[in-house]
Amino acid sequence: MSESDEKTEYLDFIREAVAEDLRIGRFKEVHTRFPPEPNGWLHIGHAKALFIDFGVAQDFGGKCNLRMDDTNPEKEDMEYVEALQKDIKWLGFDWEDRLFFASDYYETLYELACKLIRKGLAYVDDLDEEQIKEYRGTNVPDKNNITYTPPGRDSPWRDRAIEENLDLFERMRAGEFPDGAKTLRAKIDMAHPNLLMRDPVMYRIRREPHYRTGDRWCIYPMYDFAHPLSDATEGVTHSLCSLEYEIHRPLYDWFVRNAEVFPSRQIEFARLNLSHTVLSKRWLLRLVREKRVSGWDDPRMPTIAGMRRRGYSAAGIRDFLGRIGIAKTDSMVDIQLLEHCIREDLNAHARRYMAVLNPVKLVIENWPEDQVEWLDAVNNPEDPAAGMRKVPFSGTLYIDRDDFREVPPPKYYRLYPGNQVRLRYGYIVTCTGYEKDPESGEVALIKCSYDPATRGGDAPDNRKVKGTIHWVSAEHAVPFTGRLYDHLFEAERPMEVPEGKTFLDNLSAHSLTVEQDAKAEPAVADIAAGTTVQFERMGYFCKDPDSTVQRAVFNRTVTLKDTWAKLEKRLQDQA
């Protein structure tokens, strides 16, 4: 067995197909490509595709190109190109010197179109867009309600002479005809059961400046023509794409075969469907335009920029993409698996701090006046190399309002009158009373006494204290705004809506809660924007770029509760 055979115990059908192509000599090397269209921001669905494209190339010692599919000048922009590159690099993938653009090949594509005209396989058509659809036909149900596709009708201009087609196509390029007046179509089969094979449009006239080529072109190639021939031009061996392009594969192969170019092979895989999430640039753009979110990088968005701003780690995202695998059929992935992967990575690497989101004051009545102690706190119990830090402890603290009850419910082990709790890294305290705000009726102050012999939270008499709560010294507290993010959509499948409704009706009213009066220990002031940390017992939080010197803003990345891990364990136990 060769070294490459030992290296790949193939776990998915794509790698098996690639290995077979190498074994039989169909290709001598592996060369893939990731071809995003620069008309939007990269999202987690695209990330699955690039993970496969780059991963397959890496596993077989091959190459992967990054190619911008920029054949639609009306929607594309260099801003998107730069954003795509930034996100891909952040995820940990590098195309080195293999950045290409479909617009690099406009002249080549034009010449290949002329070649097909000379072979009698393409013609200039005068039908407009609606007429082309009408002539092509559509799927209809028969008397038994079984769908079939009646043959379409030939265009009246389908049999134009080759020289006339060449002349008209050249004049289209020269700008002699108005937009929409003519198209170049492939001459295939107007009775083909696959509607895409019924003389598809190869070029259309669009007087729209291109962000790279300017006004040099007024005709632009269609995706189904440009994509396979761009692959062939780059020597791409395996064009890996999502399952919706399976129906396009016969057309892909037809253009490659009849243009007599490098024989790139298309293989499809199931796209990513993530619960409580919409993964379509069209619908994400609508969320942005209608201001349902703050922008493409809103931390609730499934864009890579949004996830980065929320505090997701690139390693956690890559772990998720590796776990979901590659399938041939569509299925729904629970978003809790993504959160679990992020949580696992952050648990190993994120530093710990103490913060209180909904503070209430706690006064230790027997604490020496004006005394401050500096306690040792662990930066990350999973990483001894992270070391320790000093945390100030004083007689007036903030604790979280949820850590106190006037009348405790059953099995409540936190603070209530007469009960004892450990203060993290500090002392054991006993609640002696509380005061309420006369106007709001809310608890405004909690009174406690402390035991000086219990520094570090341990009692020398081994008394049983079940509750441990976190705190922040009021004198040293750093104010911040806490943004608590949750799923953007209530429904598991947001696009499944009853008649008369839209996916917007599934938007959650609880996807963002803002805590304006949050407090944190002083070391939090030194955290850089974009850094994700764990606020003990609260969850993982990332410092947002909106932070100022006066007030930091932290976005909740994920909570500490891991329902996915519990579900996974329960399923394993049942098995």
The pLDDT of residue 4: 41
Backbone angles phi, psi at 382, to 5 degrees: -85, -10
Instruction: Say what the pLDDT of residue 329 is.
Output: 87
281 is catalytic: yes
In this model, does residue 571 exceed pLDDT 60? no
Answer yes or no: do 364 and 260 share one domain: no
Are both 227 and 363 inside the same structural domain?
Answer: no
Beta-strand (E) ranges in 437-531?
443-450, 468-469, 472-473, 478-485, 512-520
Looking at the domain assignment, is residue 523 inside a domain? no
Q: Looking at the predicted structure, is the pLDDT value of residue 535 above 80?
A: yes
Task: Please tell me which residue in 98, 206, 271, 424 is annotated as part of the active site.
Answer: 271
CA distance 424 to 427: 8
Percentage of the residues of the chain whose pLDDT score is greater than 90: 89
Single out the residue in 238, 269, 300 at which a domain terminates: 269
Same domain, 244 and 389: no
Per-residue pLDDT at 7: 43
Among candidate residues 236, 269, 302, the one where a domain is terminated? 269
- Which is the catalytic residue, given 15, 33, 37, 136? 37
Asked if residue 362 belongs to a domain, the reply is: yes
pLDDT tens-digit map of 476-526: 999 999 999 999 999 999 999 999 999 999 999 999 999 999 999 999 999
The token pair at 303 is 């864009």
CATH number of the domain where residue 457 is located: 2.40.240.10
Q: Supply the pLDDT for residue 568.
A: 53
Q: Mean pLDDT in the chain?
A: 93
Query: What are 424's two structure tokens?
Result: 């993290």
Task: Return the pLDDT at 9.
Answer: 47
Instruction: Tell me which of 162-176, 235-249, 395-409, 556-570 is least confident.
Output: 556-570
Residue 6: which pLDDT band, with cuts at 50, 70 and 90? Answer: very low
**What is the mean predicted confidence (pLDDT) over 243-272?**
97
List the strands of the sheet with 219-221, edge to edge. 122-125, 183-186, 201-205, 219-221
Q: What is the mean pLDDT of residues 425-436?
A: 96
**What is the average per-residue pLDDT within 374-384?**
95
- According to the model, what pLDDT value does residue 90 have? 97
Q: Grade residue 149 by pLDDT with cuts at 50, 70 and 90.
A: confident
Which pLDDT score, from 0 to 100, does residue 563 have?
Answer: 58
Q: Is the pLDDT of residue 2 over 50?
A: no
Q: Do residue 203 and residue 69 come from a single domain? A: yes
Same domain as 130, residue 240: yes
Phi and psi at residue 436, in whole multiples of 5°?
-115, 150
Over residues 556-563, mean pLDDT = 85
pLDDT in the model for residue 1: 34
pLDDT score at 464: 84
264 φ, ψ (degrees, to nearest 5): -60, 150
Name the helix (H) or strand (E) containing 83: helix 78-90
Which pLDDT does position 456 carry in this prediction? 83
Q: Cα 188–190–194 angle (5° rounding)? A: 85
- In this prediction, residue 8 carries a pLDDT of 43
Rounded to an integer, the average pLDDT of 546-553 is 93
Q: What band does 242 get if pLDDT is binned at 50, 70 and 90?
A: very high
Q: Identify the active-site residue in 182, 198, 281, 343.
A: 281
Whichever domain contains 232, its CATH number is 3.40.50.620
Same domain, 360 and 255: no
**Residue 218 covered by a domain:** yes
Q: Where does the pLDDT of residue 575 fall: very low under 50, low under 70, confident under 90, or very high at 90 and above?
A: low
Asked if residue 521 is part of any domain, the answer here is no
Q: Are residues 259 and 363 in the same domain?
A: no
In Å, what is the CA distance from 393 to each residue of 212, 261, 359, 363, 432?
60, 73, 16, 12, 19
Q: What is the pLDDT of residue 29?
A: 97
**Whether residue 237 is found in the same domain as residue 386:** no
- Residue 557's H or E segment, with its range, is strand 552-558
Beta bridge partner(s), residue 479: 519
**Shared domain check, 150 and 23:** yes
The pLDDT tens digits of the residues spanning 450-467 come to 999 999 877 777 788 999
What is the tens place of the pLDDT at every residue in 330-346?
Answer: 889 999 999 999 999 99
Please tell me whether residues 366 and 222 are part of one structural domain.
Answer: no
**Angle formed at CA 102 by CA 97 and CA 107, multiple of 5 degrees:** 110
Decide if 385 is inside a domain: yes
- Asked if the structure places residue 297 within a domain, the reply is no
Confirm whether 271 is a catalytic residue.
yes
Q: Are residues 360 and 265 in the same domain?
A: no
Give the pLDDT confidence of 53-70 residue by residue, as tens digits: 999 999 999 999 999 999
User: Is 37 in the active site?
Assistant: yes
Q: Do 94 and 229 fall within a single domain?
A: yes
Domain membership of residue 417 as a residue range: 355-470
**Domain boundary residue, one of 226, 251, 269:** 269
Longest CA span, the chain: 102
- Best CA proximity match to 474, nearest among 445, 434, 433, 452: 445
Q: In this structure, is residue 99 part of a structural domain? A: yes
pLDDT over threshold 80, residue 141: no
Predicted TM-score of the model (pTM): 0.90
275 neighbors 335 (Cβ within 8 angstroms) = yes
- The number of domains in the chain is 2
558 lies in some domain: no
